[in-house]
Amino acid sequence: MTKRTFGVIGLAVMGENLALNVESRGFPIAVYNRSPNKTEKFMAERAVDKDIKAAYTVEEFVQLLERPRKILVMVKAGGPVDAVIDELKPLLEAGDMIIDGGNSLYEDTERRTKDLEATGLGFVGMGVSGGEEGALLGPSLMPGGTPTAYKELEPILTKIAAQVEDPDNPACVTFIGPGGAGHYVKMVHNGIEYGDMQLIAEAYDILKNGLGLSNEKLHEVFGQWNQTDELNSFLIEISTDIFAKKDPETGGHLIDYILDAAGQKGTGRWTVMSGLELGVPIPTIYAAVNARVMSSLKEERVAASGQLSGPGKTFSGDVEAWIPKVRDALYCSKMCSYAQGMALIAKASQEFGYDVNLPEIARIWKGGCIIRAGFLDKIKKAFKDNPQLPNLLLAPEFKQSILDRQGPWREVLMLANEMGIAVPAFSSSLDYFDSYRRAVLPQNLTQAQRDYFGAHTYERTDKPRGEFFHTEWLD
């Protein structure tokens, strides 16, 4: 039997689909899973007539692979990844490479890359976005780690990635950078995804509970928004479908029967923690994570709703006139959210020596992934035209877009406030815009207070930066 070009360890939903994706591009595959019954099931149900060979021990699996061995690990993030690496390490030879395609914490990936590179092995920490379907048909791939390992893998990854229309490169994959760069960018991708989903949820809340739109009308409005340059995206597209979906049990709209308590797996929280550590404000993403936490307090909120009342106002304006205003508010907030995510990647790149190419990040997010959207072309152009761009909002096109729409954006927030509808991500985005665009903020008072109670010193507006002063405030 000819040796296998590519191996996959971990046959849960992602590993199975990626194995089938790689095989479908003409590469012979070997697979292994800790529990043999899953391997048997996969071989019997999904691998019939495919160029896939199963192994039932790690030793057998390693022997099936041609050198240098290319092994994709798709197991639960955390301890299981280390367990698999520890099993593989003694069986591999210099030049072989391990790819971790799970949602690993980038700091773990930094450590694993260093460990494995020190033994002559290659390690690629690769973010994979697109869920089950993306894994099978073409995900967005964010690989980072050992550069020589990536070079070996490039022909395969380029074939299995999502393909989009792009004059520079249609394959949604690029080498992100060394160490944990790939998993870092995937983490921020997920943070932006949290932001996008929360912003869409808030637009839905205003349209439904503020303006009183029915599910049929929401389906129509979201369908129209998906045709616009500004909002055309996977998440708006699936929301359009969701509003039309009927519940087979009741005959009503399924959306109305889904409990409003959102789950999370941790990448949004990691993004927020990294923003705080690196000193990059990402308030929209933080608001989105927090909104999921608040939503999960369902029973407590239900009890509170009987005691704490809101303004009790009902909407009496022109619904059709307000719908485009909500669209503008959503787009402005979305621009702020992406500006925050890109600023975080830029800072991490500087801090950790990743040397990330921001236009390339926007390019590979255009297909396969959950945040794929038409406006990523504009983000790519903005960073290509000016690689030193300090913030996306300062790119000519984004600047004009937000300045043109800030009126309706503010009106929508006032309406939500008047009606008592919480819009944490919309508000955080506007606060971000209003703080970033103001040359003077009230933190002169903060500095005075810090100096007053703690002698923390302050700089003066009439003296050069870097000179520090202290005042004996009680004298």
Q: Which residues bind ligand NBP (CB under 6 A)?
A: 10-15, 33-35, 38, 74-77, 80, 83-84, 102-103, 128, 131-132
Provide, rounded to whole angstroms, the least separation between the CB of residue 82 and ligand NBP: 9
Rounded Cα distance, 188 and 387, in Å: 19
Please tell me the distance from the alpha carbon of residue 176 to that of residue 141, in angstroms, as a whole number.
10
Strands (E), 176-303: none
Question: What is the Cα–Cα distance from 51 to 285, expressed in whole angstroms?
Answer: 43
Query: Residue 293's closest CA among 258, 259, 269?
Result: 269
- Tell me what percent of the chain is helix, strand and coil, each rounded to the nearest 5: 55, 10, 35
372 burial type by CB count under 10 A (0-12 exposed, 13-18 middle, 19+ buried): buried
* 136 within 8 A of 163, measured Cβ to Cβ: no
Known active-site residue 50:
no
Residue 133 Cβ vs ligand NBP, minimum distance, rounded to whole Å: 9
Which among 23, 193, 230, 360 is annotated as catalytic? 193
The nearest distance, CB 23 to ligand NBP, in angstroms, is 17
Minimum distance from residue 101 beta carbon to ligand NBP (Å): 6
Q: Any idea which residue has 């998993």 for tokens?
A: 183
Contacts of 318 (CB under 8 A, 6+ apart): none
| Closer CB to ligand NBP, 176 or 332, in the complex | 176
Please identify, using beta-carbon distances, which residue of 102 and 195 lies nearer to ligand NBP. Answer: 102
102 vs 143, beta carbon nearer ligand NBP: 102
Residues 6+ apart with CB under 8 A from 83: none
Residue 89: CB minimum distance to ligand NBP, A:
14
Contact 153, 43 (CB under 8 A): no
Q: Is 110 a catalytic residue?
A: no
Give CA–CA dist 33/115, Å, rounded. Answer: 24
Nearest distance, CB of residue 201 and ligand NBP, angstroms: 20
CA distance 4 to 2: 6
Angle made by CA atoms 201, 205, 209, in degrees to the nearest 5: 165
Residue (of 27, 35, 28) closest to 10 by Cα position: 35
Region class of 407: left (phi > 0), else alpha (psi between -120 and 50), else beta: alpha
Question: How far is 16 from 28, CA to CA, in rounded Å?
Answer: 14
- Residue closer to ligand NBP by CB (options 15, 275) is 15
CA atoms within 13 A on the CB side of 109: 33
Closer to ligand NBP by CB, 22 or 419: give it: 22
b or e along 256-286 (b: 16 or more beta carbons within 10 Å of the residue's beta carbon)?
eeeeeebeeeebbbbbbebbeeeebbbbbbb
Backbone φ/ψ region at 10: left (φ over 0), alpha (ψ -120 to 50), beta: left
Smallest separation, CB 461 to ligand NBP (Å) = 49
Nearer to ligand NBP, 33 or 349 (CB): 33
16, 23, 70, 186: the active-site residue = 186
Of 110 and 328, which has the nearer Cβ to ligand NBP?
Answer: 110
Both tokens assigned to 43: 């071989």
The residue number whose beta carbon is nearest to ligand NBP equals: 102
Q: What ranges make up the beta strands (E) of 112-245? A: 122-129, 140-145
List, in sequence order, every residue forming a beta bridge with 465; answer none if it has no partner. Answer: none
- Inter-residue contact 360 to 387 (CB < 8 Å): no
Closest separation in Å from C-beta 137 to ligand NBP: 13
The residue (of 101 and 408) whose beta carbon lies closer to ligand NBP is: 101
Q: Which is nearer to ligand NBP, 30 or 336 (CB)?
A: 30
CB of 368 to ligand NBP, least distance (A): 11
Active site residues: 186, 193
